[in-house]
Chain A
């Protein structure tokens, strides 16, 4: 194999020259993106208005009492009832704001009897507020129970996640609010609405604000609809992570760091995502500073570049259409392989390894079925626009790209004149290039296939030499094959005018003799022009002249149906007459 071990940062040679430029850029960003004014929240007075019912299988349990609506009484009552929960229970939470010092928790069984169909209901998302700032972890934590409904209340100021639901089939979150009242504060909790390892999830008509991670975060789940919600002032407004079959439509994502994120992360639990449609959303002014806790996962939200509308990270089968994506200071839509987050995914395997995990930093993850590439992405019919003066790209993740473009703008004023700094449909292209490049001296396999094929070979050796190694699942090489038109990345009719807004890939996706340096490292188009003097790529840097993203036939997703008991939700069922659903 002739693959270099290291994958250098783009354009490192220009870092020093650019120090002054970036400083100036940073100074500008703080003035237009930060907004510390919280809307005053009118607080509804405490009020008990509830009639209970003892009907078996459909009990209605009024929490609190007319005589005692103290915080502690309401908490105690709810937890006591929940300790004796029965299938079909509805818990009615009284109006008013209640300070809880414990997580509201249910783990799926009452004295060993499995329980399902629990409903938690308040007097309105702004009328019943459970403030869990004194609980040590999550606000609500409900596990291992199916057919859950949360309606009409708010969960405020959680120290961790506001509403976490794990391992459930059937989850409805409707007219709920999860809120951290102080804007852009890194000590705010993690996720607002957080179903994880769930199936058939409907989140609608809800409000999420202030999360230091993602406001709505659906993780490792299947069959998901997120619609008609407002996500504002979070790091990520809405995030679909490692999930399959999701429809995200008619939401508003505003004033977050990044609006809508579709991520597939190397998490190592066999659960990877694909099949997401993002349509008819209003994604505007997501230019907030990134206030997430730094230093966590390489693919965590702290990497989200401030000023990004939609990000697709290493997720395949994604259709993004009919959205309004407006006024983002960095880029409107970024689509990237995982190379941008972590270059070690293309490290050379270690032939001396004695365990599977030490063959390659991602050996276990590749064997687990994950792929770092993006395939079958169709971005079409979106209304992308940027108001004059909104152009101030930032973000560590793409700092090299931004710097390269800034240099390009300086040296090529005639090409760059009037255009935003970086592409507003930004495609890394690097993963595709490595998938499309034959391994030199190989037998037709791509460079990526050579790497993962090497991991497989070494794993075979580990298995025969190490009796304790156990079995391994060979990596599926087809996931790393060259791109065909059918699994390309397509964009059309998005308001890309090539005047102000342009779409471009950072790397050429078809290998050319000049695509790699003498050490076998891939060169971005900017490097090719500025470092290697390859002039023929100049036009491509600010436009997609080679038609990398133009497709004759593009990926088309299919509508998702969420099934909850006998009810069906989605664009082909309860929302079939909604014009936003007819495409």
Chain B
């Protein structure tokens, strides 16, 4: 996926014209939400309150109908080298950092963002996953993480049918997805925009400090290891962390980028052979995928810290087999026909694989944001478990 904030702006003008042209023929209520070409800067004060009913009120994007492009000098698009699966939706991400402020580098955890920062993530659904690009996609929702002095808050805005405005939802919303094409499959399902309280399911972390425990809201994606990858900017491809540093968005980055962690890349266009050349490569790809898809809960301090499955990136598999659930029995919960969380060499009897390879409510994992099976992700996990050595008896 290519997008840069300036070329994207140009493209957006064209799209918005056609999108707006389409909307004008509709009812008057839709006309009220015609696309607005935004000449003004981001409304930081309103963002800090986080209670605007309409997404356009924040003035984050160049065109109110295109959340994939901004004209703000304080906004920057980014991608993750391995991303959370959300029903084959495309995702368009930006960080917005207030003037004269900067993000502070962290080696292993999410970066420290200054008060007033906003992270936006827009979810869109292509009709055909082989033809992605915002002009081929239906806008579903835009999620905001807003950093206040006391911590992060989360808001979700759901787009109207014409893609001309997004509205705040606190109770979540269901969106019917009909017959999208994915590699020969036709998928129909109900996409679920999370309720506001559900955000904290994944974004919570209990931090231990001097014997007391504090619950904190944490971003998940913006970590050095997922941003330490190339991005196709306007004037060519560049490492995202280097770019952030150059623009003054990021401080504390080691001078030698080789010292920065790098999660193995994964995307749905990869075939198993692309990442399984060596056991080390396969393991690194699996660890990267498990980190971004599972480890926000399945880590110490996470929502699922009490289960027998923990896959935080910085606990290596080697020497920590039981920690990862290898040959371990699940403590509770239904079992999907498996007695062990991970059985080396045998994905099909492993609970991990079986809970990923189902859409059965009560069994499927992750518990939020997945209504269809992520074929490519489960193939990766299957290949990884199947090549693990050892036996449980």
Binding site for B on A (CB under 8 A): 75-80, 82-84, 101-103, 105-109, 111-114, 135-137, 143-144, 158-160, 189-191, 196-197, 213, 219-220, 265, 267-269, 293-298, 300, 355, 357-358, 364, 466, 468-469
Contacts and interface: CB of A to CB of B under 8 A. Distances in A.
Contacts of B215: 107-109, 114, 144
A245 B200 CA distance: 31
B361 interface: yes
Nearest to A265: B331
Given A137-B361, A267-B308, 8 more contacts: A83-B171, A84-B170, A105-B201, A109-B215, A160-B362, A295-B339, A296-B332, A355-B321
Interface residues of B, number: 42
Contact of A111 (B50, B321, B329): B50
A458 to B, nearest CB: 15
B41 to A, nearest CB: 25
A364 B319 CA distance: 13
B334 A293 contact: yes
Interface stretch (B58-66, B106-114, B146-154, B271-279): B146-154
B379 interface: no
A537 B138 CA distance: 78
B196 interface: yes
A112 B152 contact: yes
Interface string B349-388: 0000000000001101001100000000000000000000
A296 B172 contact: no
30 contacts: A75-B171, A76-B171, A77-B171, A82-B197, A83-B170, A83-B171, A102-B195, A107-B201, A107-B204, A108-B215, A109-B200, A112-B148, A112-B150, A112-B217, A136-B367, A137-B361, A137-B362, A159-B361, A189-B362, A190-B362, A213-B332, A267-B331, A268-B308, A293-B335, A294-B335, A295-B335, A295-B337, A297-B329, A298-B329, A466-B319
Task: Give chain B's interface secondary structure class.
Answer: loop
B43 interface: no
Interface of B: 50, 148, 150-153, 170-172, 174, 192, 195-198, 200-201, 204, 215, 217, 303, 306, 308, 319, 321-322, 328-335, 337-339, 361-362, 364, 367-368
A190 B171 CA distance: 25
Nearest to A189: B362
Nearest to B393: A344
Contacts of A295: 335, 337-339
A265 B287 CA distance: 29
Given A80-B170, A135-B361, A196 B306 contact: yes
Nearest to A342: B329
B19 to A, nearest CB: 29
A143 B303 CA distance: 9
B196 A83 contact: yes
A536 to B, nearest CB: 37
Q: 8 closest A-B pairs (Cβ-Cβ)?
A: A159-B362, A79-B171, A107-B200, A83-B196, A112-B151, A296-B335, A83-B170, A159-B361
Contacts of A107: 197, 200-201, 204, 215
A296 B330 contact: yes
Contacts of B303: 143
A466 B320 CA distance: 13
Given A136-B364, A297-B332, A101 B170 contact: no
